A and B are shown apart, each in its own frame.
Chain A
Amino acid sequence: MRVPCAFVVNGMPVEVEIEPGARLLDVLRGPLALVGTKEGCGNGECGACTVLVDTRPVNACLFPALEADGADVVTIEGLAAANGTLSPVQQAFVDRGSIQCGFCSPGMIVSVTALLRKSPDPTDSEIRDALVGNLCRCTGYVQIVEAVHQAAAQMQKSDSR
């Protein structure tokens, strides 16, 4: 038995018929074709599938799609401006060499986006707390921390204008 599920994803309302137990990750990657969100473990351990549900970062591999009914979902595809301009977090990841194989990057960038909304000028320790659930095997995280600081500075500069 399939049930209807309606939510907003990246600013666009969508309605899909899903199995009641479907994971948000499968709905995003399947019928909605938003494959930028990655599955790294399927167990909520690696954070590669992180998306925002009503501004809260969640592991889409554990999140039941039905719980997103009526919610505002943002994926990696929804962060850049409509004209293609990268978000400050995306731009900082590009600038600082924070991306290697790139598989963790969508989830990492979404987690950083959530962090900077909550804490516009985070300390290193706040950054580590916020990103401890986003695993990366390539970078050793150093340039990721650098990118978070760059994005924070950039966003504060834009806000003060």
Chain B
Amino acid sequence: MSARHVGTDTVRPDAFEKAVGRATYIHDLTRPGMLYGKIKFADHAHARILSIDTTRAAKLPGVRAVITAYDTPEIRVGFLRDNFALKRDKVRQHRDEVAAVAAIDPDIAAEAIDLIHVEYELLPAVFSPAAALADGAVLVHDVDPSGRPRTNNRVPVPTRHESGDLLAAERASKWVVEGTFSTPIIQQACMGTAGCIAEIDPSGNLTMWAKTQIPFLAQKDFIRALEQMGLRDRNARVIVPALGGGFGTGLDTHCYEYIAILLAHRTGRPVKILYTREEEFAYLSPRQSATTHITQGLDGEGKLTFRRLEVTQDNGAYTSWGATYPTVMLLPATSLYRVPAVKFDSTLVYTNNTYCQAMRGYGNPEVAWAIESNLDELAAAAGMDPYEVRVRNKNVAGESTPMGLHITTCGFGDCLDAAATKLGWNEKRGKQRNRRRGVGMAGLMHVGGSGRIYKADGGGVILKLDDFGNVNVSYGGVEMGQGLHSALQLTVSDALGVRPDKVFINPTDTGTCPWDVGTHASRGAFIGCNAAIRASAKVRSKLFALAAGLYPGEVQRNLEKLRKEKSDVPAFVVPSVCDPAAFDLRESEMFLRDAPEHAAFRIELGRMLRAIHFRGTEGTLLVEEAYYEPKSELPDWSKGVGNMSATYAFGAQSVEVEVDVGTGEVTILGVVSAHDVGKILNPQTLKGQIYGALAQGIGFALYEEVKTVAGRVVNPSFTDYKIPTIAEMNFPIHLEFVETHDPEGPFGAKGIGEPGMVPTAPAIANAIWDAIGVRIRELPITREKIIAALAEKQKRES
């Protein structure tokens, strides 16, 4: 298996249709007879529902159904089953769904929503973990999902870790620095907003066009919803259109999807629900906030002695995957740099704020913010160069970390080195404060071979070859924009031996694709390509066995045809049966490895497949499936131990900034982003992942924050919630890719979707410290915070 196409700059297979506006997103899909659903949200953070009057809405011409929790089956949502598709009795967050309508057009649906009148009795509410944990705080949930009374607002998901002798390590430390670092709620802000179409056939089987990253887990969720609706033993088929961005939004199923199912069931018609941008900002689960108290120690040699992390998170009103960030936080907490003693504790608290979801990095950027900022402070306390401290403590291949992570390959040292040298670290660090310029860096470690947070962590690929030599690839993972289909195309091309233009990636559909746990944890290419390599090997083996008796005939036919055309064709000896092991397939041509170098011996794959189909005795078609399960362990979360990924990705970013001390504005002058990628699959899409993640990291660092007042989102638009525009991305970026050829990776590759945004915020904060000597500990690093910190510094110094 040689890499002919893997590693080359190749146009992605979905680029053409997207460039001409022909890619079909949920926004563009309609079904015959389709209705438009719309949701009535609570608009109170905590209140008792006294009554819901839907009579006026129901009478509006064009309205086909109005539903509430009082007239539909109860559908429980969330991994702790603490949420409901439609709420009855109480609302617990501003975005709670209290009613929904289906109408013949979106405008009528919106008008009907305004005609629904809900009477509430307002209840006291809690809007921060501190308030929710205070004595006598109002309970967000009076009872747990099984009906037992609750006594406090803690979410029962214990994730912790303790290893090494902390007390001894602390005593042995020459320098100890502690601090509290926080990150805000931010929005994934996909350019394509959320939406779905639900259609239930007369037998009660559901087809769902969903903007999801987890088609098969969604299938399971939807089947359970059908059961709760009395439609037992029915199927839910999930079809994924062009996504319009994922970034974690599609990692869980959503109340709007269940509401569409309820409306489709009620009306007998397909129902589409599509969020507006304002709804997306205010009512879709964003990235969860975190506050981390960290203490780290350093000995006289500059070696880390211990690390203690206490993370507190505002869970919001219900559980979704935001509640499981600590499972990923464990990874950098225990294993980023070599630390002999580690303690990690997490507290998750129900509040009346929005509940949260996954976003790129999933807990890692939150604690990397604390670890990497605090490490800089520790280096300063010790009078050491922060780059030097990182190098002295870097991870290396072959090590087993306190969490039990096995580091198979590790390019961390090379990444740190590139981050320093390519930015001009030695010439710049600590030498430009007179110009208010500074440099900073941060390292990263992330799962690179999927992250096992579910019993099965694999995925399957089906390769179906047709009479024309086309290879149709079915994989249950999702192309969100990251370039998964390009990785699959190049992998199949090389692993099978076909031209890339003969490889077609099918749309993701639970009805046609094999099971996959979902596209998250930077796992899509790692899992999908590993499965594709295994399926390709099966196809080759079957193809060569079937061709053994048929290939000679095809060669003879070639020779006969040639002899008719010209007389000087050599008298080749063609065996009557070939040894299957003697065949090879490259660039869609089959040949015998030791055959003469003559065109007659090269049989185009499509022709060979037709011979097998029509001339062979079995009339066989070539369809092969392979399932790949990565070599990793489901960790014991209560101990925080387990090798959760088959391999780990490392990297380092360095940043140069200039700070305007008058306005507090931070200008980025240059960035180096260095990554251990295992092996480059497609340079073009790899760069796209790093550039895009870096931009998100900059937004996270400098300006993004979902602002709420008493639980209500007050900046639900791109005007009030700024994401990086092309104007801000106006500095040189140097990318450095280190290839460590991981033995478990497809062609040696590691997952690389998330790492690019993990170290950005601390690298920027560290550069700001170098430039102006202030340390910002709360993201985002706004101008106001810089000005306030400078004033504070001046006061302290005078």
Contact = CB atoms under 8 A, between A and B. Distances in A.
Interface of A: 29, 34-43, 45-46, 48, 75-77, 79-80, 86, 90-91, 93-97, 99-106, 109, 124-125, 127-129, 131-145
A34 B730 CA distance: 34
Contacts of B695: 137, 139-141
A103 B191 CA distance: 6
22 contacts: A35-B28, A40-B193, A41-B718, A77-B21, A80-B20, A97-B12, A99-B14, A101-B242, A101-B245, A102-B242, A103-B190, A109-B19, A125-B730, A127-B726, A132-B726, A137-B695, A140-B693, A140-B694, A140-B724, A141-B695, A143-B688, A145-B726
B442 interface: no
Across the A-B interface, the 6 shortest Cβ-Cβ residue pairs: A36-B21, A101-B481, A102-B18, A140-B691, A97-B684, A100-B481
A104 B191 contact: yes
Given A43-B718, A94-B11, A137 B190 contact: yes
B245 A138 contact: yes
Interface in B355-377: none
B727 interface: yes
B508 interface: no
A74 B706 CA distance: 36
B717 interface: yes
A94 B726 contact: no
Instruction: Identify which of B28, B247, B726 gathers the most chain A CB atoms within 10 Å of its CB.
Output: B726
B20 A38 contact: no
Given A137-B247, A142-B733, A143-B688, A99 B193 contact: no
Contacts of A131: 726
A136 B688 contact: no
A103 B245 contact: yes
A101 B190 contact: yes
B244 interface: yes
A101 B727 contact: no
Given A35-B21, A100-B483, 19 more contacts: A35-B27, A35-B28, A36-B22, A39-B27, A41-B717, A41-B718, A42-B276, A77-B20, A86-B16, A101-B191, A102-B19, A102-B23, A135-B191, A137-B189, A138-B688, A138-B692, A141-B724, A141-B725, A141-B729
Contacts of A102: 14, 17-19, 23, 242, 244, 481
Contact of B726 (A46, A79, A134, A138): A134
A96 B684 contact: yes
Given A36-B21, A43-B277, A140-B691, A97 B192 contact: no
Given A43-B719, A86-B20, A139 B691 contact: yes
A26 B247 CA distance: 28
B504 interface: no
Contacts of B189: 137
Contacts of B17: 102
Chain A's interface: helix, strand, loop or mixed, by majority? Answer: loop
A144 B693 CA distance: 15
A43 B720 CA distance: 12
Given A42-B276, A102-B23, A142 B719 contact: no
B19 A42 contact: no
Interface residues of B, number: 56
A77 B22 CA distance: 8
B84 interface: no
A28 to B, nearest CB: 11
A43 to B, nearest CB: 6
B172 to A, nearest CB: 43
B480 interface: yes
Nearest to B730: A128
A100 B22 CA distance: 14
Contacts of A139: 688, 691-692, 695
A158 to B, nearest CB: 18
Interface of B: 9, 11-12, 14-25, 27-28, 188-193, 242-247, 276-277, 480-483, 684-685, 687-688, 691-696, 717-719, 723-727, 729-730, 733
Best-surrounded residue of A42, A48, A75, A94 (most CB of chain B within 10 A): A94
Nearest to A30: B105
B104 to A, nearest CB: 14
B192 A105 contact: no
A37 B21 contact: yes
Nearest to B695: A140
Given A102-B14, A102-B481, A140-B691, A124 B21 contact: no
A82 to B, nearest CB: 13
Contacts of B14: 99, 102
Contacts of A34: 21
A104 B729 CA distance: 17
Nearest to A129: B727
Interface centre among A99, A125, A131, A132 (most CB of B within 10 A): A99
B638 to A, nearest CB: 36
A86 B15 CA distance: 11
A2 to B, nearest CB: 14
B789 to A, nearest CB: 28
Contacts of A109: 19
A45 B725 contact: no
A145 B16 CA distance: 18
A45 B276 CA distance: 13
Given A39-B27, A43-B717, A97-B12, A138 B19 contact: no
A140 B686 CA distance: 13
A48 B192 CA distance: 9
B725 A135 contact: yes
A29 B246 CA distance: 24
B481 A40 contact: no
B483 A45 contact: no
Contacts of A143: 684, 687-688, 691
B370 to A, nearest CB: 25
Nearest to A40: B191
B20 A90 contact: yes
Contact of A103 (B25, B276, B729): B25
Contacts of A93: 15, 19
Contacts of B726: 127-128, 131-132, 134, 136, 141, 144-145
A106 B21 contact: yes
A73 B688 CA distance: 32
Contacts of A99: 12, 14-15, 18-19
B727 A100 contact: no
A36 B189 CA distance: 20
Contact of B191 (A48, A91, A145): A48
A129 B247 CA distance: 27
Contacts of A37: 21
Contact of B692 (A40, A77, A100): A100
Contact of A97 (B20, B688, B724): B688
Nearest to A139: B692
Contact of A94 (B16, B244, B687, B694): B16
Nearest to B483: A100
A137 B699 CA distance: 10
B482 A100 contact: yes
B718 A38 contact: no
Contacts of B483: 97, 100
A40 B192 CA distance: 6
A99 B685 CA distance: 9
A86 B717 contact: no
A105 B727 CA distance: 17
B285 to A, nearest CB: 17
B244 A103 contact: yes
B383 to A, nearest CB: 36
Of listed A38, A86, A90, residue having the most chain B CB within 10 A: A38
A8 B475 CA distance: 42
Contacts of B247: 137
A129 B120 CA distance: 49
Contacts of B243: 101
Contacts of B23: 102
Contacts of B190: 101, 103, 137
Contacts of A128: 726-727, 730
B612 to A, nearest CB: 34
